Structures are given as C-alpha cells and as structure tokens.
Amino acid sequence: MRKRLMRTAFLAGAVVMATCLPGAAHATSGTAAGEAVTADEKGHVLFCTGRAGDRSVTVDLYDNSLYGSFVSVIVEGPDGEYGGGSTPPLLFDNGSVSAELPIEKHGADGGPAGRAVIQGTYAASGEPERVHDITREPSWVVVAHGTRQQLSTSVSITVLGETTPLSCEPSFAYDLKVTRTPQ
C-alpha cells in the first residue's frame, strides 16, 4: 500500500507539472518532433493532512529540478471550502520547507480569505529504494528509473487564524532519469 501511495504521489506531481507546463519536456530537450526526450529530474514530494479546529486541511508540496515548485492548500469545514496554489521559486531548502500563499473562499460567497503559511523540516529516512515506473500520459509514454528516499517531516500550517501540525505521508525525495517517448 505504501509503495502505491508513493507512486501515486509521484505521478500526481508529474501530472501537475505536465499540466502546468505543456510541452516543456520537449522544449527543454532540443530534439526534433517525434523523438524521445530524456532528462534527469530530482526533487521532493510531501502530501500532508491535518485539522485546524473543525476544518480539515490538505497540503501538497512538490518540487522538480526541471519544472520548478508547486504548493496547494485545500481547507474544508462547516463554513465552506477554501484553497489556493502557488509556484514559489524555492520551496525545499537544505532540510527546511516553507511557503506562503493567498487563500480564497470557494463558492457563491467566495473571495480572498487571507494567507496560508507553511513551515517545517525534512530529513532522509531509511535506505533509498530503486524505482522503475512506466506510465502513459495523453501524448507520451513515460519511463522513470532511479531512486526514491523516504523523508521524515515536521511541518505545520497557519491558515484562517489557526496553526496546526501536519502529518505528511507519503513524503519522499527522488532522483530519476525520465524518458518521455511520443505515442
């Protein structure tokens, strides 16, 4: 189950980055159309959850040496749903993670609702594991191989006037050679 969650988190991050930056993998390669594109990709994935009072909080933190960083926050409670996302220039930095982003209330009575501040630490935990994943995207077959290293984390969020610790499972760093071949 844990491996499936880690794979799902990695693939979700890859899909987010592919969606945010369509054609970026091909553009960075300098190859002709129709050729495979190979790149080294390193980064981090943290999927975090917690409770802030009577609200549930979900935080995704992702960075990739080729595509950059992404953070998203979703807060759900009896007073509605709130959320926000950002692409900070530096999210993970030598054992610390931090981000600040605007939060909006969703729905008919929506609008700006303040800021979310995420802070914490991470460290390698256990031995690196070998990775070999094959996935199909709309226009690509993606083969990733390399290593994934679990992370131990201590992360908190301040949002909507509440500060709460987050449980970040799965959390890992990755170092992969990724080949995308057009379908």
Query: Are 83 and 104 contacting, i.e. CB atoms less than 8 angstroms apart?
Result: yes
- Side chain identity at 50, as an amino acid letter? G
Q: Is residue 18 part of a domain?
A: yes
In a domain, 53, yes or no: yes
Is 7 domain-assigned? yes
Percentage of residues in the chain having pLDDT higher than 70: 82
pTM as predicted: 0.80
Domain total of the chain:
1
CB contact at 8 A, 24 and 51: no
Q: What is the average pLDDT across 152-176?
A: 96
Q: Is residue 165 part of a domain?
A: yes
141 within domain boundaries:
no
User: Does the pLDDT value for residue 130 go beyond 90?
Assistant: yes
Length of the chain counted residue by residue: 183
Q: Please check the confidence at residue 46 and state whether its pLDDT lies above 60.
A: yes
**Taking the CA of residue 159 as centre, how many other CA atoms within 13 Å lie in the half-sphere pointing to its CB?**
38
Q: Which residues contact 138 (CB under 8 A, 6 or more apart)?
A: none
Residue 14, pLDDT above cutoff 90: no
- Residue range(s) defining the domain that contains residue 81: 2-25+44-121+152-171
pLDDT band for 20, please (50, 70, 90 cuts): very low
Q: Which helix (H) or strand (E) holds 50?
A: strand 37-52
Among 106, 105, 115, 116, smallest CA distance to 61 is for 116
pLDDT grade, residue 62 (50/70/90)?
A: very high
Which class for 134: exposed (0-12), middle (13-18), buried (19 or more C-beta within 10 A)?
exposed
| pLDDT (0 to 100) of residue 53 | 87
Residue 9 pLDDT > 70, yes or no? no
The arithmetic mean of pLDDT across residues 119-134, rounded, is: 96
